[in-house]
Chain A
Amino acid sequence: MNADKELDARGLNCPLPILRAKKALAEIGSGQVLKILSTDPGSVKDFQAFAKQTGNELMSSTEAGGEYTFFMKKK
């Protein structure tokens, strides 16, 4: 999947991945895609909750070797 911007939130803990993602989303345009890398297991549910409450679309959420990758499309 292609992303317009990438956010490396690896090593950061709650609530930093969400706060950094919010900032990164502010820097891209509507319909553009943000890729987020995280190592916080709590971020899986949190990015779902973030998407649900902000209207941005969580296009995919995957895990590999303790690393989580999210693709989020800006509303």
Chain B
Amino acid sequence: MDDQKKLTIIATKGTLDWAYPPFILASTAAALGYEATIFFTFYGLQCLRKDLSCLKVSPLGNPGMPMKMPFGPKWFQDISWNIPNIIQAGIPWYEDVATALMKKTIANNGVASIAELRELCQEAEVKFLACQMTVELFGFEHSDFIDGIEYVGAATYFEYGGEADISLFI
């Protein structure tokens, strides 16, 4: 049959910022009537953890990331904090602080949380595939991950990718 459009995404990143594109694109595609599939591999597996607190953001070595505060008066929020890498690297729990600030910024801007977007994907029947090889490589257990995931290999990805109208590597 079928003339339904199909999207596949290979999700390889395991940070809070990079967890967004696969879930945003897949949920939107599903809303547009696509059959959407995400294949999570390598660090992308972090996006499937039951406990999403593993997703963090690091401004260290990331010159593209604007460093602004999500609270205080406007003049304060407008300051761009250009902290040299060598100092960032030396501050304990720097990533935890940066992640907390990023989550606040996300909430301030009416952007959904990863947990919410992931749930919306599941409600919209986006198919989640996880790479069994990297699950073993990184010492994960299936019980670390949410329900409803198929554990597969590269050949299964191509079963979906080969039929897809759009395929993205993120």
Q: Which A residues are closer than 8 A to B by beta carbons?
A: 11-16, 18-19, 21-22, 39-40, 50, 53-54
A19-B120 CB under 8 A given contacts A13-B111, A14-B24: yes
Provide the main secondary structure of the chain B interface. Answer: loop
Do A53 and B27 touch across chains, with their CB atoms under 8 A apart? no
Q: In the complex, identify which listed stretch (B28-36, B76-84, B131-139, B144-152) lies at the interface while the others stay far away.
A: B28-36
Q: Which B residues are closer than 8 A to A by beta carbons?
A: 24, 27-28, 31-33, 109-112, 120, 124
Once the chains are docked, how many angstroms separate the CA of A22 from the CA of B33?
10
Kindly identify which residue among A16, A21, A50, A54 contacts B110, using a CB–CB cutoff of 8 Å: A16
A15-B24 CB under 8 A given contacts A22-B31, A53-B33, A54-B32: yes
Once the chains are docked, how many angstroms separate the CA of A57 from the CA of B112?
27
B33 (CB) vs chain A CBs: closest residue: A54
Task: Output the least CB separation between A36 and chain B (Å).
Answer: 13
Once the chains are docked, how many angstroms separate the CA of A52 from the CA of B31?
13
Task: Output the least CB separation between A46 and chain B (Å).
Answer: 9
Once the chains are docked, how many angstroms separate the CA of A19 from the CA of B110?
14
Report B-chain residues with C-beta under 8 Å of the C-beta of A13. Answer: 109-112
Once the chains are docked, how many angstroms separate the CA of A5 from the CA of B9?
34
Report A-chain residues with C-beta under 8 Å of the C-beta of B28. Answer: 15, 18-19
Once the chains are docked, how many angstroms separate the CA of A64 from the CA of B31?
27
Do B27 and A15 touch across chains, with their CB atoms under 8 A apart? yes
Do B32 and A50 touch across chains, with their CB atoms under 8 A apart? yes
Once the chains are docked, how many angstroms separate the CA of A15 from the CA of B27?
8
Do A19 and B31 touch across chains, with their CB atoms under 8 A apart? yes
